[in-house]
């Protein structure tokens, strides 16, 4: 009788429990816990490496150029890398300063400003045609008369960015060196926030002249040789250190060294070479701070005019 009673009780409990759940019973073996569950519970997904760039090129062109590098770094690091694109160099500097970006591709003027204001650090510099310096080109429409920046008084002029060496600092310095007030020298002025847009503004007659990055100018004419019939270079600045790759000084030292090592070795494997070709760089090399010494003195002497 007792055995019969216990059998009925077990059956009733089974019916009751099955009625409390609409899902099938899952048997869990405590001695066979999925290791992935433990990793997920104890170790959150890695924070992506955030790489910031400003639109030295137009936004669409910037994405085309930098995406292969982002993909390469992501493959080598083994976790997500995201591209943060901003309109101006100042916005990129601000991202680094507040810790919202880890690595950035900045203009040389942006580095001069950031190194003084919050200790922005050089990580690597690219070489282009075996050079790691560049300059500002003063360009005009083929129909604009003049052989130097000193012949452009009253002309409309396109700057690229307030913080750009080649697109703003250089022409201001070139004029101020001759005792000319850059604030009143030109006629109508405006910012394009990309060098290729400044080149097209001159080619299309929107501006009489512009100051642009020599490397971008050469690359643009290589891709669009017809532009050579519309624009000309009439003046050039001194050479300064090429736009570098930089980091926030508070970035984890181990991560900083790892990213730097990846950049410096990119030219040694096939995927890295593809990314370098998209950027039109030969390779990345260890920074030489001396390349930026003169630039910093120029920036300090002109920053009140920018």
Domain spans of the chain?
49-129+243-298, 136-237
For 262-277, what is the mean pLDDT? 97
CA 17 to chain centre: 60
- Weakest-pLDDT range from 54-68, 199-213, 217-231: 54-68
3 pLDDT band, cuts 50/70/90, is very low
Same fold across 49-129+243-298 and 136-237? yes
- Rounded to a whole number, what is the distance in angstroms from the first to the last CA of the chain? 100
d(C-alpha 161, C-alpha 145), whole Å: 25
CATH second-level architecture of 136-237? 3-Layer(aba) Sandwich (3.40)
Q: What is the crossing angle of helices 89-97 and 108-118, to 10°?
A: 30
Asked if pLDDT for residue 20 goes beyond 70, the answer is no
pLDDT at 38 over 60: no
Residue 55 has pLDDT above 50, yes or no: yes
The CATH number of 49-129+243-298 is 3.40.190.10
Residue 10 confidence (pLDDT): 40
Q: How far apart are CA 249 and CA 122, in angstroms?
A: 9
pLDDT at 306: 82
* 140, containing H or E segment: strand 136-141
pTM for the full predicted model: 0.81
Check whether 45 has a pLDDT greater than 70.
no
Q: Which two tokens stand for residue 297?
A: 């003195």
């Amino acid at each position: 009788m007792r055995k019969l009673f216990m059998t009925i009780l077990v059956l009733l409990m089974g019916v009751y429990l099955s009625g409390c759940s609409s899902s099938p019973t899952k048997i869990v073996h405590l001695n066979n816990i999925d290791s992935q569950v433990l990793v997920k519970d104890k170790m959150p997904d890695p924070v992506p490496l955030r790489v910031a760039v400003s639109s030295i090129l137009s936004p669409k062109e910037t994405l085309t150029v930098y995406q292969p590098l982002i993909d390469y770094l992501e493959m080598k690091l083994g976790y997500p890398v995201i591209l943060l694109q901003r309109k101006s160099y100042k916005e990129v500097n601000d991202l680094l300063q507040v810790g919202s970006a880890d690595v950035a591709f900045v203009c040389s003027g942006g580095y001069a400003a950031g190194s003084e204001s919050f200790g922005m650090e050089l990580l690597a510099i690219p070489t282009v045609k075996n050079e790691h310096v560049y300059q500002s080109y003063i360009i005009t429409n083929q129909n604009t008369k003049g052989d130097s920046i000193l012949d452009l008084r009253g002309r409309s002029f396109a700057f690229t960015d307030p913080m750009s060496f080649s697109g703003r600092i250089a022409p201001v310095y070139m004029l101020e060196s001759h005792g000319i007030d850059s604030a009143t020298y030109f006629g109508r002025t405006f910012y394009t926030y990309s060098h290729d847009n400044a080149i097209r503004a001159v080619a299309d007659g929107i501006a009489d002249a512009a100051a642009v990055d020599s490397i971008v100018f050469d690359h643009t004419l290589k891709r669009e040789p017809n532009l050579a019939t519309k624009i000309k270079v009439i003046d050039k600045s001194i050479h300064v250190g090429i736009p570098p790759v930089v980091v926030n000084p508070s970035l984890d030292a181990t991560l900083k060294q790892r990213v730097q090592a990846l950049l410096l070795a990119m030219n040694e494997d096939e995927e890295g070479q593809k990314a370098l070709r998209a950027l039109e760089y030969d390779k990345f090399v260890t920074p030489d701070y001396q390349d930026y010494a003169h630039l910093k003195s120029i920036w300090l002497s002109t920053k009140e005019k920018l």
